[in-house]
Chain A
Amino acid sequence: DTEVTQTPKHLVMGMTNKKSLKCEQHMGHRAMYWYKQKAKKPPELMFVYSYEKLSINESVPSRFSPECPNSSLLNLHLHALQPEDSALYLCASSQDPGSRVEQYFGPGTRLLVL
């Protein structure tokens, strides 16, 4: 079973709203990732959590705030977003942060910022 779940599937928010995206996996994976994907572009890495600690922040604006409450759960808190932040937000997980491990994606949250 390689299932990563994400909620909500779709989200529409105004620029002054605060919302959160949720990602969950029950595969015992110890590395979790947030990606952003714009139309007709490849996924762009935002954050990496390894063993529940933030290990990579790809210079993401502070209006995106990740959180890893436990090894199965990953949140992305959103505040004061801009219309250009509209995209598909993908969560992924892997067994560990090592290089020879496979990364599995969740179905994504499609975000529209008005």
Chain B
Amino acid sequence: QKEVEQNSGPLSVPEGAIASLNCTYSDRGSQSFFWYRQYSGKSPELIMSIYSNGDKEDGRFTAQLNKASQYVSLLIRDSQPSDSATYLCAVRKGGSEKLVFGKGTKLTVNP
């Protein structure tokens, strides 16, 4: 089982819809969870971090964490064409300096 798994996509949604991105992780000792957005040819940009079970909202973005199910998700409301990018889920174990990335999900928002 891979440490961090994401649906590779591609995921395509119409403008204004909700995009749902999912990530599962294998290590129950994981304590920190991050979502990065990466535009083609650019570096990853941190958009959300979440450490506790439940939801965390920031503008159009909501991160959801369920440690019992080892599952973290990112919802993007009112999706815009500018949201078209690859979204990387990253997980960090407690006491570790290492961030483990999933393979990323490519999202396309169609006008």
Contact = CB atoms under 8 A, between A and B. Distances in A.
15 contacts: A31-B97, A42-B88, A43-B44, A43-B88, A45-B99, A50-B97, A56-B97, A88-B43, A99-B94, A99-B95, A101-B32, A102-B46, A104-B46, A105-B45, A107-B42
A48 interface: yes
Interface residues of B, number: 25
Nearest to A56: B97
B43 A42 contact: no
A99 B92 contact: yes
A-B pairs with lowest CB-CB distance, top 4: A42-B101, A97-B97, A105-B43, A108-B43
B93 interface: yes
B98 interface: yes
Contacts of A42: 88, 101-104
Contact of B44 (A55, A97, A105): A105
A51 B1 CA distance: 33
Nearest to A58: B98
A21 B92 CA distance: 26
B61 to A, nearest CB: 15
Interface in B69-108: 88, 90, 92-99, 101-104
Contacts of A107: 42-43
A99 B43 contact: no
B58 to A, nearest CB: 13
A75 interface: no
Contacts of A31: 97
Contacts of A106: 43
Given A99-B31, A103-B34, A43 B101 contact: yes
